[in-house]
Structure 1
Amino acid sequence: MKARILYYGRLLVSSFLLFVAVVTVLFFLLELAPGDPVQALVGDVPLSDEFRERIVASYGLDKSVWERYAIYLGNVLTGDLGYSFATNREPVLDLIASRIGNTLALAVPSFLLSTLGGVVLGSIAARTRRRWLDSGISGSAVGLFSVPNFWLGMLLILVFAVWLDWLPTQGKSPYGQSGISLEYMVLPVITMATSELAYKIRIMRSSMIESLGQDFIDTARSKGLSSSRILWNHAMPNALLPMVTVSGYSLGFVLAGSVLVERVYGWPGMGLLFVEAIERKNNMVVLGIVIVLTFTIIIVNIVTDVVYGLVDPRLRDRFAPKKKELVA
């Protein structure tokens, strides 16, 4: 128990230090940016002398760089990501909170689709190794992994929205309606899931092939068990261990990849907000989104490590208390 607490304590400390390091790099990149620091904060917005003085006072720009860094880090750690001057000083955290739900509406189905599809198709490819089905699945995975998300999104729009007129092209619901309509999610979800699906198929195939070559599989065959039962009941639990780590990390890639996908489909999520903030030079929003994504990825990685420690028997044995030997 003590070893487990010590391990997770180190994990939390290292994750916190990583987050502080990212915030530090972002701060000094903003400091090193050429031009007027006040203008860099507010973006492409005209400034009066009175407004400039207020900005200098509120952000402590008259202080030394280390004092400003301490103030900036303290604000971030307390959830204050600054204000968006391009939208009437609306808090950056409020802007992100209003969009992150739309991003998760695409990211979560994409993550589930790519993970479940990767497990099933990767297992089938491993089971039919060196046959035509394995070649088709593996070849398709390599091809899909090489296709950029934005190009695939435009191709799907051309085929299913323009030529076939089956699905809409932009937005999350018909004009004048609120909420999210299912038909508007189909193409963005497929686009976001494709590259991760291809990657997970390759990982699952390799892991399943390794699992099928273990000694306990030969024991199961000697007992007369069917091939499907050996695959799903015996080889699968062992082959899923690498997928736990891969799936956890892939959620961060899905969130980061939403930037281009939301731009292509005009989906009003955090990715589209990020692109709009770059175009309008709204630096505080850009920094805020990067910080939120960093925090989210770190939390996902912590959860992944915890789950892996629970499902991997080798780690459970390492944390288990050692039994005292009986002395005769």
Structure 2
Amino acid sequence: MKAAALHYLKLLGSSALLLLVVITILFLLLEIAPGDPIQTLVGDVPVSEALRQQLTESFGLDRPLYERYVIYIGNVLTGNLGFSFGSNTPVAELILDRLGNTLAIAVPAFILSTVGGVVLGAIAARTRRRWLDGGLSAGAVALFSVPNFWLGLMLIMVFSVWLGWLPTQGKSPYGQDGIAWQYMILPVITLASMELAYKTRIMRSSMIESLGQDFIDTARSKGLSEQRVLWQHALPNALLPMVTVAGYSLGFIIAGSVLVETVFSWPGMGLLFIGAINRQDTLVVLGVVIVITISILVINIITDVIYGLVDPRLRARFTQPAGSMA
């Protein structure tokens, strides 16, 4: 147990250090980026020197760089991400308003890619060296090679422009609140496509390795059908690598929502992020990156914990006395 506690303590420490590095690098990059935050705040109108001085002092832009950095890190530790230059609204409030919309397409995309990847990968492994395996493998490679923003544009062209089956953008009809399911279909498919292809390939390889193990021959020698051997014996063993892949993929899906939300004008964190870049709203850009980075780090930690629970080899390593380690 001490080994497990030490392992997770190191994991937390390395995650906190990585978050600090990400914040520091982005903070410095945004500082040297061209643009005038005061002009962004007031819009396309002339700014008097008195007003510029007042706004500069109000946002703390007159302080030295190192002082602003230390203040910002301290604020982040308390959950204060600052105020938007464009709307003078707390950045945390802006992100919370958009977070639900991002999760509304990220979670279904994660479920679709994971379940679909497991099923398609298992079928491809079961039909190895046959036409179905070849078709699934070729499709996965092609889908993995296609940029998701390009795929999104093609889906809009086919299902929205040509066929007229689905809406092109937004989350609900004009003037209505909430999320309409038909508006989610294309963004979810686009967001899940690359991860579905990757998970299919990983699951296929893992299932082929599992089907070659001795316990599979033992199960077949007992007279079990191929379906039972595949789904009840080979599949559980092949799912272990998928735990790690699936966990990490959720972070990639959340990060990848930036481009997908832009393509479909989906009002989530990604669209907020792109808009903040265009407006040179540096604190909003920093805030979105911090939230995405924290989400990825938390997901990775949870994935590591779950893998340690389901993999008997890791459980044995953590519970084995230190003196008996080989």
Q: Percent identity?
A: 67
Distance 1:151 1:30, change over 3 A: closer
Contact residue 43 and residue 282 of structure 1 kept, 8 A = no
Pairs within 5 Å for 1:271-286: 271-286=270-285
Name the counterpart of 2:19: 19
Name the counterpart of 2:253: 254
1:243 lines up with 2:242 in the alignment: yes
Name the counterpart of 2:72: 72
Distance 1:205 1:90, change over 3 A: same
Distance 1:35 1:268, change over 3 A: closer
Distance 1:150 1:35, change over 3 A: closer
Distance 1:62 1:280, change over 3 A: closer
Pairs within 5 Å for 1:5-16: 5-16=5-16
The Cα of 1:137 is off from its aligned counterpart by 0.6
The Cα of 1:321 is off from its aligned counterpart by 4.3
Task: Structure 2: give runs of 5+ residues left out of the alignment.
Answer: none
1:104 lines up with 2:103 in the alignment: yes
| Equivalent-residue separation in structure 2 for 1:44 and 1:210 (angstroms) | 61
State the SS of the aligned residue for 1:85: coil
| Equivalent-residue separation in structure 1 for 2:223 and 2:283 (angstroms) | 64
Distance 1:298 1:41, change over 3 A: farther
Say which is worse superposed, 304-313 or 234-243, in terms of deviation: 234-243
| Equivalent-residue separation in structure 2 for 1:259 and 1:315 (angstroms) | 35
The Cα of 1:31 is off from its aligned counterpart by 3.1
TM-score norm. by structure 2 comes to 0.93
Contact residue 38 and residue 55 of structure 2 kept, 8 A = no
Which residue type is aligned with residue 16 of structure 1? A
Name the counterpart of 1:178: 177
Which residue type is aligned with residue 268 of structure 1? P
**1:217-245 Cα shifts (integer Å, max 9, x gaps):** 12222222221111111111111111111
State the SS of the aligned residue for 1:86: coil
The Cα of 1:69 is off from its aligned counterpart by 2.0
Contact residue 43 and residue 281 of structure 1 kept, 8 A = no
Contact residue 38 and residue 56 of structure 2 kept, 8 A = no
Aligned residues: 323
The Cα of 1:42 is off from its aligned counterpart by 5.0
The Cα of 1:323 is off from its aligned counterpart by 11
Distance 1:44 1:125, change over 3 A: farther
Contact residue 259 and residue 271 of structure 1 kept, 8 A = yes
Name the counterpart of 1:133: 132
Distance 1:248 1:41, change over 3 A: farther
Distance 1:304 1:42, change over 3 A: farther
Pairs within 5 Å for 1:194-213: 194-213=193-212
The Cα of 1:192 is off from its aligned counterpart by 0.8
Contact residue 40 and residue 279 of structure 2 kept, 8 A = no
The Cα of 1:40 is off from its aligned counterpart by 8.8
Contact residue 44 and residue 280 of structure 1 kept, 8 A = no
Pairs within 5 Å for 1:290-309: 290-309=289-308
Contact residue 263 and residue 272 of structure 1 kept, 8 A = yes
**1:235-284 Cα shifts (integer Å, max 9, x gaps):** 11111111111111111111121111111111111111111112222222
| Equivalent-residue separation in structure 1 for 2:39 and 2:294 (angstroms) | 24
| Equivalent-residue separation in structure 1 for 2:72 and 2:155 (angstroms) | 43
Which residue type is aligned with residue 205 of structure 2? S
Name the counterpart of 2:231: 232
TM-score norm. by structure 1 comes to 0.92
State the SS of the aligned residue for 2:194: helix
Q: CA RMSD in A?
A: 2.1
The Cα of 1:56 is off from its aligned counterpart by 3.8
State the SS of the aligned residue for 2:158: helix
| Equivalent-residue separation in structure 2 for 1:64 and 1:96 (angstroms) | 27
Which residue type is aligned with residue 24 of structure 1? T
**1:25-60 Cα shifts (integer Å, max 9, x gaps):** 112223333566x54985966644344334443454
| Equivalent-residue separation in structure 2 for 1:22 and 1:43 (angstroms) | 29
| Equivalent-residue separation in structure 1 for 2:216 and 2:54 (angstroms) | 71
Which residue type is aligned with residue 237 of structure 1? P
Distance 1:236 1:40, change over 3 A: farther
Name the counterpart of 1:219: 218
Contact residue 11 and residue 302 of structure 1 kept, 8 A = yes
Name the counterpart of 1:155: 154
1:31 lines up with 2:14 in the alignment: no
Say which is worse superposed, 9-18 or 53-62, in terms of deviation: 53-62
Pairs within 5 Å for 1:59-98: 59-87=59-87, 89-98=88-97
| Equivalent-residue separation in structure 1 for 2:214 and 2:41 (angstroms) | 64
